[in-house]
Amino acid sequence: MVMQDGGAVDVRPGPDPGRAAAGHERAYRTAGAALAVYGGALTAWTVYGIVQGDGSVWDFFEGLFNPRASFFMWTLGPGEWALVVALLAVAAGALALRRVARTGALLLGWVILAQSVREIVGLCHAGYRQLYAVEPLGGWVLATRALGLPTALIVIVALLRATERAGAAGAAAGGGAAGEGDTRTGVTKRSCADTDSWWRRRLSRICGVLFLVMGATRLVWAAWSTAEEHIGLGTYLRRAVDGSATGGMVQLSQSGEFTTLSSVSVLLVLGVLAVRSNRDVRGALLVFAAVELYLTVRTVVLLTVTGFFGGPFVTGESAASLVITAYELAATTSVVVLATGRSFSAYGAYESRLSGPYGGGSHRSSPDGRAG
């Protein structure tokens, strides 16, 4: 920020537009600490699995991306490995008071809450409760599951109301300008804000459309697969919402039905919010797209190591599966790139890109909102 008073020039940095407001610091730190504790618990299970697994640390890292690797760890699956990274990354962002971490943390909170509700439904069955009693590590698994419920509630309650007006930080950044250049500065800022806002809306809608198509495709594929396997809708939904329907063992990984339905729900909800240009979903878009990108890369590796690309498309099903996988790889990569870019910023950061003496900087602002 540049302020002129007579012949003196006062150069002071404006407020960080990506930082949470002072009144929300406690909420961010509380949510970040809760996510860090839960992520630490899952990390402990990961370390335990590596120690108890039938391979080396290198085998574990190979198994992160190669589904055919020999490493076996019964407690956590690839979805949980991705969740651990997301929990720790978002927790770090929340503890650092970064506004982009808010919707990412809320997304994780709702997902963990859904997992907890599924486990509560399963515990209503006496046979499922008995499994925890006979399993050697059943008590520890149940304790980890139980930790998820307060974690989800703390995150959701703390951050749900920690909202800020769009452009508040930008207004604060320009609030100290004074002198006869106020009118010209105001015009420049409004013009740049309009351009930046237009570009943000366009990026948000692109991400939203990509997510909506991905969610609809995944829903259709799940419905077709269920019909092919002659699985009734009631049975499928029970496996998704009832922890006791998974079989004769307790584990921290979720069922395929729960993973599919939860991913479809998140894709459709975030897609609608992004298409409506709700710029506050940037963090959630980034977190979920990154998780889905990792899982899609695992699928591509599986297709490669099994020789799928080297053989002909024997059935229409395999061809459709490849097309869907290719689309998901392109869509998730695109969302990660777009949501990470500076031009997606929802926090009024255009002041730092103002050109010439009006903004006090030397950056050039291009029509698409990128600094050059």
Q: Name which residue leads in pLDDT, 363 or 113.
A: 113
pLDDT digits over 43-70, tens only? 998 888 888 776 677 777 887 888 777 5
Q: Name which residue leads in pLDDT, 359 or 304.
A: 304
Per-residue pLDDT at 174: 43
Per-residue pLDDT at 319: 79
pLDDT band for position 118 (cuts 50, 70, 90): very high
pLDDT band for position 178 (cuts 50, 70, 90): very low
Q: Name which residue leads in pLDDT, 153 or 128.
A: 153
pLDDT digits over 242-277, tens only? 888 876 677 788 888 899 999 999 999 999 999 987
Tell me the mean pLDDT in the region 8-24. Answer: 65
- Strand, helix or coil for residue 2: strand
How many Å separate Cα 219 from the centre of its chain? Answer: 20
Would the pLDDT of 203 be above 60? yes
Tell me the mean pLDDT in the region 355-363. Answer: 37
Q: Name which residue leads in pLDDT, 78 or 313.
A: 78
Dihedral-angle region of residue 361 (phi above 0 means left; psi in -120 to 50 means alpha; beta otherwise): beta
Tell me the mean pLDDT in the region 8-34. Answer: 75
Would the pLDDT of 304 be above 50? yes
Q: Is the pTM for the entire model greater than 0.85?
A: no
Would the pLDDT of 198 be above 60? no
Q: What is the mean pLDDT of the chain?
A: 77
pLDDT digits over 81-101, tens only? 899 999 999 999 999 999 889
Round to whole Å and give the CA distance between 208 and 288. 12
Per-residue pLDDT at 314: 61
Round to whole Å and give the CA distance between 12 and 370. 23
How many Å separate Cα 365 from the centre of its chain? Answer: 29
Q: Are 152 and 110 in contact (CB under 8 A)?
A: yes
Would the pLDDT of 22 be above 90? no
Between the alpha carbon of residue 26 and those of residues 9, 15, 31, 97, 346, the distances in Å are 36, 19, 9, 9, 22
Per-residue pLDDT at 15: 60
Q: Name which residue leads in pLDDT, 103 or 353.
A: 103
% of the chain surpassing 90 pLDDT: 35
